[in-house]
Amino acid sequence: MTPPPSPSGPAATAPTLSDLAARAARARPAFGEHAHILCDNLVRIFKTEGVEVVALQGLDLLVEKGELIAVVGASGSGKSTLLNVLSGLDVPTAGVARVAGMDLLAMKPKDRLRYRREAVGFIWQQTARNLLPYLTGRENVVLPMRLAGNRASQARADELLELLGVADCAARRPGQMSGGEQQRVAIAVALANSPEVILADEPTGELDSDTSEEVFAALRNANRELGVTAVIVTHDELVSEQVDRTVGIRDGRTSSETLRRAAEDGGLIAEEYAVLDRVGRLQLPRDFMNALSMERRVRLELERDHIGVWPEGSAEDE
């Protein structure tokens, strides 16, 4: 009896292009599959009196669990809109926004309210927006627990105030605290319900440099001790230079990232990168473009280990 042909023999069916494409898709991890915060081609369009303003224009962002990052950008760049989307205060027009596994575009109003109470904590720039003036520091921290239906614990409130270096503010009202103390108590309020993410909008914007350092040290301590993911929108260079990663936003898209690491001599090495999005778009720094008079078109050339970029009409074109 003739044995049946082996799978590798002539009778084996060759894989089709569709089979190969499906196999490649299965092997490739999904974009941001393990990220704690994922924004994929995020779009936010505001309509005012018939005029459309595109605040976010296909923004991509990945933040890992437990990471502490700073987001920087000029006024109108889209960074505050991004923070409002991540906090659940605003709903994006299109794209994907996912925080701690929760889809922000698919949420119903009731889910969004629960998300804001339990999954994320928010710290405003204006100290008066973070604390109720007629409650003590401890009472302000306990309040979010009660609103979320959690068992209010004065002991947890005191632990958070101690962690952030403002235990002596427990029995004082906001009017009896300094601006820096108010912001550190506000961080405790944001952490009251054990959120997975805290978001801060210019938390040191109204403070002097010494007080800013105290507030940021408190944020850093909360990030390290509690493992909470933290995203800070800031103009403060002191803050942006003390995180491992700074994300720059320009014209509604992430444009650059600065990564910091320790050097062998004990110093700090900061390396700035341009961000390449999923469809290959790249924002060149404006000072580079101005220096070489780059407008509208550039010429690209693929080299062995890099891509050359030349302005239109350069000597290389001739």
Rg (alpha carbons) of the chain, rounded to whole number? 25
Residue 4 has pLDDT above 80, yes or no: no
> Does 200 have pLDDT greater than 90?
yes
User: What's the whole-number mean pLDDT along residues 266-289?
Assistant: 84
pLDDT in tens, 303-317: 889 889 888 877 655
Instruction: Tell me the pLDDT tens digit for each residue of 140-161.
Output: 999 999 888 877 788 999 999 9
Report the distance separating Cα 254 and Cα 244, nearest Å: 17
- Three-point CA angle 134, 184, 71, nearest 5°: 125
Instruction: Identify the weakest region by mean pLDDT among 27-41, 167-181, 198-212.
Output: 27-41
Q: Is 141:160 a contact under the CB 8 Å cutoff?
A: yes
Q: Tell me which amino acid residue 120 is.
A: V
Q: How far apart are alpha carbons 235 and 316 in whole angstroms? A: 40
Give one word for 28, left, alpha or beta, with left for phi > 0 and alpha for psi -120 to 50.
beta
SS3 per-residue string spanning the chain: CCCCCCCCCCCCCCCCHHHHHHHHHHHCCCCCCCCCEEEEEEEEEEEECCEEEEEEEEEEEEECCCCEEEEECCCCCCHHHHHHHHHCCCCCCEEEEEECCEECCCCCHHHHHHHHHHHEEEECCCHHHHCCCCCCHHHHHHHHHHHCCCCCCHHHHHHHHHHCCCHHHCCCCHHHCCHHHHHHHHHHHHCCCCCCEEEEECCCCCCCHHHHHHHHHHHHHHHHHHCCEEEEECCCHHHHCCCCEEEEEECCEEEEEEEEEECCCCCEEEEEEECECCCCCECCCHHHHHHCCCCCCEEEEECCCCEEEEECCCHHHC
Domain-by-domain residue ranges, the chain?
A: 37-274, 286-317
Q: Considering the entire predicted model, what is its pTM?
A: 0.83
The residue behind tokens 């009409």 is 313
CA distance 202 to 223: 17
Task: Name which CATH class applies to 37-274.
Answer: alpha beta
Cβ atoms 252, 54 nearer than 8 A: yes
pLDDT in tens, 44-83: 999 888 788 899 999 999 999 999 999 998 888 899 999 9
Highest mean pLDDT among 174-183, 240-249, 290-299 belongs to 174-183
